[in-house]
Structure 1
Amino acid sequence: MDLEQATRMGEEVAEKVLQYRRDASGWKICREGNGVSVSWRPSVEFPGNLYRGEGVVCGAPEKVWDCLKPVAGGLRVKWDENVTSLEIIQSFTEMLCISRTSTPSAAMKLISPREFVDLVLVRRYEDGTIGSHAKHVEHPLCPQRPNFVRGFNHPCGCFCEPLPGEPNKTKVVTFFQTDLSGYLPQSVVDSFFPRSMSGFYANLQKAVREFHD
């Protein structure tokens, strides 16, 4: 994949995730608590669900983003219990790369370790929002590894949005649309994502305090 192809794909993914952000129709709340709301609707990308998480994190957008940004040696692997490693396989620009993310076993080991290879585009918007947008890709440097199941992220992303009049708070909106692959009962998948996303917000808040207070 060259820069032109990667840029075009990244822009397409970013537009899709923006549409998810703008479209308020069809969402059903599946988990609420501690200021975090998780909702879902059927995906149009694959036979699964698109999940949306919303919550306010105490911390300026740049500090929150610092805990989330997809960089090798970054903070994400230090606090996110669903990420065991994050590698940058190919970097096109400062805002566009291909990453490989590994995840641990989950759901009492019903879900075995996964790996995901994604094209990731970072966008900074005029209102101060920082967005990360991603979609699975194939890459010659990333053959499937033994002991991992290859999962596939359909268009997904995260927005760190400033709150007017609240410089030290950030609205974080996340979209997960993941095919975990393997032979998993749908009930396991359906229970895993809402619980995992709630934990994501709690752990992100702890990380912002730990690394930036």
Structure 2
Amino acid sequence: MDYQEKANSVADHLLNYSKDESGWKICKKTNEVVVYWRPSSEFSGNVYKGEAQISGCPQKVWQCLRPDPDGLRVKWDDNVKKFELLEEVSPDISVCRTVTPSAAMGIISPRDFVDVILVRRYEDGTVTSNATHVSHPACPPQPGYVRGFNHPCGCFCVPVLGQTDRTKLISFFQTDLGGLLPRSVVDSFFPSSMIDFYANLTKAVKALK
């Protein structure tokens, strides 16, 4: 598999998502975060978009989000139990395995995901992570985990003009959890999970010195 080509393609996909305002509907909202959804063109589920401003410069926010096996994500993100590097394709592209714990009071059993991830930087200071599912010879489906599939997903850390200590974070989640889950469980899980994601990230950024 050409991981580099796939990674660049998913980054282009997400850039298009970030620019396309059509069809998004609000499904959950707090004072800080808005979560939108629309039907996915990749699979039979939905694509979700989260938007919020985080108190902290883009470098700090990115430090918490960086896809790194030794990074901070597993410490603050309740939905990431384990994050493993399977292959470093280039300095900006890696193939990784993510393990998630059971969720929704045990209705959703532990999952694992294998993704190619590209870190892309833009001239305005925006840093993005861009991921989608791939197969890898070092990681076939494993007992004890349902193999899930991430369709184009990721995060945009965008500098806020004139406010160096704030970051606009746009996140896209588009996940086929696999298994025979009721649609209602999946549709309620993702928006709530994204609200928690932003709340936990905000705390993690605040805790950085």
**Fold match, TM over 0.5?**
yes
| Aligned pairs for 1:83-162 within 5 A | 83-162=80-159
Shift of 1:13: 0.5
Shift of 1:34: 2.7
Shift of 1:105: 0.3
3-state DSSP of counterpart to 1:92? strand
3-state DSSP of counterpart to 1:20? helix
Q: 2:28 maps to which residue?
A: 31
Shift of 1:199: 0.3
For structure 1, which runs of at least 5 residues remain unmatched after alignment? Answer: none
What TM-score do you get using the length of structure 1 for normalisation? 0.97
* 1:53-106 residue CA offsets vs partner (Å, 9 max, x unmatched): 000111110110000011111100000000000001000112100000000000
Is 1:73 the counterpart of 2:70? The answer is yes
User: Structure 2: how far apart are the matches of 1:62 and 1:99?
Assistant: 22
| Aligned pairs for 1:16-27 within 5 A | 16-27=13-24
RMSD across aligned positions (CA): 0.7
Q: 1:188 maps to which residue?
A: 185
| Aligned pairs for 1:4-23 within 5 A | 5-23=2-20
User: Structure 1: how far apart are the matches of 2:125 and 2:140?
Assistant: 37
Percent of aligned positions that are identical: 57
Is 1:207 the counterpart of 2:200? The answer is no
Q: Which runs of 4+ in 1 moved over 6 A?
A: none
Shift of 1:141: 0.2
User: Structure 2: how far apart are the matches of 1:54 and 1:39?
Assistant: 8
For structure 2, which runs of at least 5 residues remain unmatched after alignment? Answer: none
* 1:164-207 residue CA offsets vs partner (Å, 9 max, x unmatched): 01101000000000000000000000000000000000000000
User: Structure 2: how far apart are the matches of 1:51 and 1:82?
Assistant: 16
